[in-house]
A and B are shown apart, each in its own frame.
Chain A
């Protein structure tokens, strides 16, 4: 009991120090970003013949319902030169047929690029006209495998990953590519903001009116996303220690990703794993590099509104996080990897991978101590108050950073609702998530040991929009 109390106190102090530092960095980074970014600069970039062309890769598995609208909206993005590559990953519905009819595609032959490994290609389709669209129909191999196929068939130096059920704002791609234009030699990956589209009015693959969701579960996720993106990613990006570029929306340098080996097939958190590997690869090679989070380009995605889908998604994200930390454990506390090895990855391991176990153990020990009459209730209550209040501090800080960032769709009418949900999440939502994570970790360790993990159909949640790729849990 005493040992745990000391451990929990140290854990909390470390959590507060790291997260407060990251929040302060986030505020400074947004200020710096706003001082540099100019609207005329973006328009100039869009007209410049030096702006790099981008291949947008859309991995799709049974997305017949919305794929044609998604592709139309991607082809119409504000960007100088882009191509869209849809990789149908063993779809058993009419995903490919829908695209063939919507864009008048015909089968074509293409040399099979040998850069990365991916499941066999069934057929490739291209339009009859000049539309820059390619549809790669391949055997099922998972999202990482589909992305590898997309990278292999891409023609341009940069590629952007977008989930088939996600929607990019008109200028999101240009804003996310801007760091590559400003610093073409060093920038290897950039990511933008993911927002939850539940509750928004969507027309032809575009969000035309932004609203907060009605569903409580989706509202909790909005709070998590705001905290995770504005409070955390922006801060880590300031010291080039960003560990996650969402699979739902990220831009990468194709040659560097190919050199680093592409996405790891079978990984549960392929987006997280790739970014950590890029850090490792570039640091090992002594290559100057930057991985940047850009706070204002927005990709809209639909969040799960049913507990069972959320549980499945969070289980996948959490195990992906644990798996990646295990794969790259040699980087932990290794000064060779700079801020990533010394701070960001250890913080991820401690607070995200071990956090659920520490929290659950805390509840169990507190209950046992209460049953034995060995608890100081005032001290316990104050400790709980600190935990909850600090969560609110992080949320309020992230909301302030978010509000300082320009947006096309502000939520001016809803701040109080967001804050209310930030308080409410402490009453069950958070504990339930921690239980899911702890249970999945125990189950995972018991069933598979700590060796390589086999993928078991969790790559795409059964709910539309539950995020084929996603983020590991948003740090709290």
Chain B
């Protein structure tokens, strides 16, 4: 018994030594990275700032660490730049060989290396990155595919957009957040490319995402498609209603009013329709919204109150009438909305 216990103690001591050794190695590596960062970061930042201010070129990085840090600083700056400054800096990173390196790294066996490479190409996003990005959308790793598809959605031509849509469809369930970023990039750079997605050419997830993006970017050209989605299932209809509200589509007031009044639909979708009516601000919605102040559902009632407050004088008149209601909850609601 004692020998067995002594063996366990020995094993524990060994395990402790291994873990402490591993921790020491991690710390040493991190401390070294921090030392290099402190040494090279100011030079990299000054170099890039100077280049953007008009210097003809950058002093060449002296080693791999400085090169990696220069890329990190460059990518960080690119994420915040637009227009000619962006083009200039992206061109510099291209000339320094980072695009070629990242394109080659996309063939790495390590998923982490491919992800870094894809992210680098996606941020630089110059025409020279296109071959790498097109290869990346066929990668086996979902994050590599999505990063490449996101960049292609911004800079790609028709062929690239087909690959983007195919990637978005393929990964909509596995990586919904990444696919949302792809659809957003598509909507920002090629708004017309959302039309087939909104028409239901792809699955319901992509359709809902496209509707959300059309609303978030206020793409008035898709208002018709969003209106046609008001009759779809609740989640999609609520997203479409929100989008129409954000766009401020006056033509949708009738459909939204019908949806808001439809007591067969869920309160959530009716609330979305009511909120959209308030956001559009067209007084013709008052006759639809006023009865909803008496709705049994609190959220619907309250949304109707705040929506009426956004419909200028006719809406406020409806609220003043409600303030005289015999029902306390309606009086309180109208009072709160009028007083806010």
Is A111 at the interface (CB under 8 A from chain B)? yes
Is A284 at the interface (CB under 8 A from chain B)? no
Given A44-B181, A111-B332, decide whether A396 and B20 contact each other with a Cβ distance below 8 A: yes
Range of interface residues on chain A? 35 or more
In the complex the two chains form, is A43's CB within 8 Å of B27's CB? no
A200 CB, min distance to chain B CBs, angstroms: 19
In the complex the two chains form, is B19's CB within 8 Å of A35's CB? no
Question: What does the 1/0 interface line of A19-46 toward B look like (CB < 8 Å)?
Answer: 0000000000000000110111101100
Is A184 at the interface (CB under 8 A from chain B)? yes
A32 CB, min distance to chain B CBs, angstroms: 10
Q: Tally of A-B residue pairs with Cβ under 8 A?
A: 117
In the complex the two chains form, is A393's CB within 8 Å of B16's CB? yes
Given A50-B180, A50-B184, A403-B30, decide whether A396 and B5 contact each other with a Cβ distance below 8 A: no
Q: How far, in angstroms, from A385 to B15 measured CA to CA in the complex?
A: 14
Given A378-B2, A412-B27, decide whether A182 and B176 contact each other with a Cβ distance below 8 A: yes
Q: A residues within 8 A CB of B336?
A: 109-111
Question: What does the 1/0 interface line of B1-43 toward A look like (CB < 8 Å)?
Answer: 1100110110011011001101100110011001000000000
Question: What does the 1/0 interface line of A44-57 toward B look like (CB < 8 Å)?
Answer: 10001110000000
Is A185 at the interface (CB under 8 A from chain B)? yes
In the complex the two chains form, is B19's CB within 8 Å of A386's CB? no
Is B333 at the interface (CB under 8 A from chain A)? yes
Q: How far, in angstroms, from A376 to B2 measured CA to CA in the complex?
A: 9
Task: State the main secondary structure of chain A at its contact with B.
Answer: helix
Is A133 at the interface (CB under 8 A from chain B)? no
Q: How far, in angstroms, from A126 to B333 measured CA to CA in the complex?
A: 17
Is A389 at the interface (CB under 8 A from chain B)? yes
Closest chain A residue, CB of each to CB of B336: A109
In the complex the two chains form, is B76's CB within 8 Å of A109's CB? no
In the complex the two chains form, is B298's CB within 8 Å of A40's CB? no
Closest chain B residue, CB of each to CB of A20: B15
B325 CB, min distance to chain A CBs, angstroms: 14
Q: B residues within 8 A CB of A183?
A: 176-177
Give chain A interface residues in 387-403, CB to chain B under 8 Å. 389-390, 392-393, 396-397, 399-400, 403
Is A415 at the interface (CB under 8 A from chain B)? yes
Is B166 at the interface (CB under 8 A from chain A)? no
Contact of B9 among A38, A181, A382 (CB under 8 A): A382
A113 CB, min distance to chain B CBs, angstroms: 7
Is A371 at the interface (CB under 8 A from chain B)? no
Q: How far, in angstroms, from A154 to B120 measured CA to CA in the complex?
A: 38
In the complex the two chains form, is A49's CB within 8 Å of B298's CB? no
Give chain B interface residues in 67-90, CB to chain A under 8 Å. 75-76, 79-80
Q: How far, in angstroms, from A382 to B176 measured CA to CA in the complex?
A: 53
Is B115 at the interface (CB under 8 A from chain A)? yes
Is A3 at the interface (CB under 8 A from chain B)? no
In the complex the two chains form, is A109's CB within 8 Å of B16's CB? no
Is B178 at the interface (CB under 8 A from chain A)? yes
Instruction: Please give 9 more A-B residue pairs, beta carbons under 8 A apart, in addition to A184-B180, A389-B9.
Output: A49-B217, A111-B333, A376-B2, A382-B5, A386-B8, A389-B13, A392-B16, A393-B19, A419-B20
**Can you list 10 pairs linking A and B with CB atoms under 8 Å apart?**
A40-B119, A49-B216, A108-B339, A108-B340, A111-B298, A112-B332, A181-B177, A182-B177, A385-B12, A393-B12
